[in-house]
Chains A and B, each alone.
Chain A
Amino acid sequence: MSTFRKIMRNPSAVVGLCILLLLVVVSIAGPFLVESPYEQNTAVKLMPPSAEHWFGTDDFGRDVFSRIVTGAHYSLLAGFISVILGLTGGLLLGAFAGFYGGLLDQILMTVCDILLAFPSVLLAMAIVMVMEPGIYTPMVAVGISSIPVFARLVRAQFMSLRESCFVEAVRSAGAGDLRIIFRHLLPNSIGPIIIQATLRIGSSILLAATLSFLGLGAQPPTPEWGAMLSAARNYVWTASYLALIPGIAITITVVAVNLIGDALRDYLDPRTRNM
C-alpha cells in the first residue's frame, strides 16, 4: 500500500490515473448512454460540432461522439491484451532461457535479436497477414511482436540473479527449479518488468491503432479510433474535426498510460528513487 501512496505523491501519476479511470468508466458505461454509433442519418452529413452532436457527424451522418465513446474499449483492450500476451510469452521464454542457459538460450536469443531488428510496424504487419483478419487480430499481432522485448528483459534479470547467494540457499534447502523460478527469481526481478509492461501499454495502443489506420485491423464501420482516422483522411479539406478528434482521443489515452509508467519508473528504478 505504501508503494501506491508514494507513487500517488507524484502529481503526473495522479493525473494519468484519473484520466485512465475516466476512460475505463466511459468505455464500460458509455455505450449504454449514447446513441448507436452505427445509425446513419444522411440529413446531417458532415455537420461540425454542435450542441446536438458534440463532436459533429461523419460522412454517413453518424454521431462522432457516440463512435468515440464506443471505440474507447478497443484501444484500452488493445493495450492490455497485447501486453498481457507479450508479457506471458516473454516471461516463459525469457525465464527458461535465463535460468537454464546453454543452447536453448542461444537459439532463443538469436531469434529474439532478429525479430527485434525489424521495425515493429513491419513485424506486426507480417503477423497480421498470417492470421485471419478481424478486430482482435492487431491486438494479438502487437502482443506477439512484443514477446522478444519481454523475453530479453526477463532473461537479463534472471541471468544476473541465478548465481546469487539466496538462490544457492533455497536450492540447498531443497527447492526445485520451478519453485526457484516462480517463487524467488520472479518476485526479485519484477520491478523492471512492471516498468517495461506499463510503458509498453502505451506503445501497443499506438501500434494497434496504426495497424487499423493502415487498413490491417478493424474494418469500417467498426468505430475503432485508428480506422476512424483513416476514413477521415478524405475530409481534411471540408471537415477537419473528423481527423482531429480520434487523434486527440488516442493521444490522451497514451499520455495517461505513459504518465503512470514514468512515475512507476521513477519510483522503482533505484537510481532515480532519491530524486
Chain B
Amino acid sequence: MKNKYYLKLTGKYLLRMVTLLIAVSIISFLLVSMSPVDPVQQYVGAVPNVSMEQRAKIAEYWGLNDPPVERFFAWGRSVLQGDFGVSLIYRRPVLDIIKEKFVTSLALMAAAWLFSGIIGFTVGCVMGAFHGKGPDKVLKKVCLIMCSIPTFWIGIVFLMVFSVKLGWFPMGMSVPKGVPTDQVTILQRIHHLILPALTLSFLSFANVALHTREKLVDVLESEYVMFAKARGESKWSILKRHGLRNIMLPAVTMQFGSFSELFGGSVLAENVFSYPGLGAAASAAGMGSDVPLLLGITLFSALFVFVGNMLANIIYGVVDPQIREGYRNE
C-alpha cells in the first residue's frame, strides 16, 4: 500500500519534470532562433581570412540552412544522448563545464541559502512577536531599505570595505592565485566564499524576514491564539506552540521556492567577485552569444528550480501530518 503510494508520487513528479523540460527547451530554442546574432560569425570570431565559402560550409555543416523545427529535433536528439554541444567561449563540452561550475556555485548558493534562511526567519519572528511595537517598526524599515539595494552594488561595497580597506577577505575568485588546485585547503575556499555568500544572501534575507513576519502576525491574530491567551498561556509558550508550528510550512515553501532567485542572484554575486561558478558562466555566455552553453545552462536552471519546488512538496509531507494524509487519500 505504502509502496504503491510512493510509486505514484514519483511517477507524477517525473511526468511533470519531463513536460517542463520539453517546454523550456522549446521556448529557449525559439528565443535563440529569433536572435539577430549570427552563430557562424560568433564561432569564427576574430580569426581573419575566413572566406565566404568556408562560412557557407560551416553553416551547411551545422545545418543552419535547415528549417527550425528540424534543427530543434536534431538538437533534442543529441541532448537526449547527453551531448549538449561544445561551448564557443570555453571550447569544451557544455556538460563538463556545467558540472564543474555547478559544484563551485553550489557551495556559494548553499551558504547563502542557509544564512538568509536562518537569519531571515529569526528576524521575521522577532518582528512578528513585537508586531506594531518599536523593534518591529525599526526592523521593517531596515528590511524595506535592504530590499531596495542593488545586489551588485552591495557586493562592490563589501569588496571596498572588507577587502580593500580592512583587508580581511580576498579580492575575489574561489581559490588563491598561483596555487595548484589540489593544494588549496578547505579553509582557503571558505575564506574566499564568505563575501560572495553574504552578498547573495543579502538579496533574499529581507524578503524572508518580511514574509515570516506577515505569516506570524496572521497566526497571532487568529482565534485559536486568542483562546490560548484566554486560557492563560504565556506569550513565549503561545509563540512556541502555536506561532512557530504554523509558520513552518509557508517558511519551507518560501525557502525552497527561492531557488530561482538564488540562481539569478548568483549571476550577479559571481560577476562582482569573479567567482568562477555557473552564474558567471551564464552571464559570459549571454555576453558572448555562446548559444550551446546558454541553452545548456537554461535547461539546467529549470531543472534546479524544479528540484527546489519538488523538495518543498516532499518536506510538506514530513512537516505536516494533514498533508501526508491528503497525499495518501488522493
Contacts and interface: CB of A to CB of B under 8 A. Distances in A.
Given A121-B268, A236-B156, A129 B261 contact: no
A54 B31 CA distance: 45
Interface of A is mostly: helix
B270 to A, nearest CB: 11
Given A125-B283, A236-B164, A259-B144, A119 B150 contact: no
A65 to B, nearest CB: 19
A120 B265 CA distance: 9
Given A132-B36, A255-B144, A122 B160 contact: no
Interface residues on chain A, size class? 35 or more
A132 B34 CA distance: 11
A254 B148 contact: yes
B156 A229 contact: yes
A132 to B, nearest CB: 7
B145 interface: yes
Given A127-B31, A255-B144, A206 B263 contact: no
Interface in B138-154: 141, 144-145, 147-154
B286 A251 contact: no
Interface stretch (A86-94, A190-198, A211-219): A211-219
A214 B283 contact: yes
Given A247-B153, A251-B149, A258-B147, A210 B268 contact: yes
A209 interface: yes
Interface residues on chain B, size class? 35 or more
B89 to A, nearest CB: 14
A240 B305 CA distance: 37
Contact of A243 (B151, B160, B268, B301): B160
Interface stretch (A30-38, A44-52, A110-118, A156-164): A110-118
A275 B34 CA distance: 50
A237 B218 CA distance: 48
B144 A129 contact: no
B225 interface: no
Interface in B252-308: 260-265, 267-268, 271-272, 282-283, 286-287, 289, 294, 298, 301-302, 305-306
A1 interface: no
A129 B260 contact: no
Given A118-B301, A122-B298, A251-B145, A130 B150 contact: no
A250 interface: yes
B34 A215 contact: no
A204 B305 CA distance: 22
B264 A122 contact: yes
Interface string A237-265: 10010011011001100110011001000
A185 to B, nearest CB: 27
A202 interface: yes
B20 interface: yes
B301 A122 contact: yes
Interface stretch (B22-30, B187-195, B316-324): B22-30
Contacts of A121: 264-265, 267-268
A236 B160 contact: yes
B148 A251 contact: yes
B247 interface: no
Interface string A94-123: 000000000000000011001101111110
Interface of A: 12, 110-111, 114-115, 117-122, 125-130, 132, 202, 206, 209-210, 213-216, 226, 229, 232-233, 236-237, 240, 243-244, 246-247, 250-251, 254-255, 258-259, 262, 271, 275
Interface of B: 20, 23-24, 27-28, 31, 34-37, 132, 141, 144-145, 147-154, 156-157, 159-160, 164, 218, 260-265, 267-268, 271-272, 282-283, 286-287, 289, 294, 298, 301-302, 305-306
Lowest 4 A-B CB distances belong to which pairs? Answer: A119-B264, A247-B153, A254-B148, A121-B264
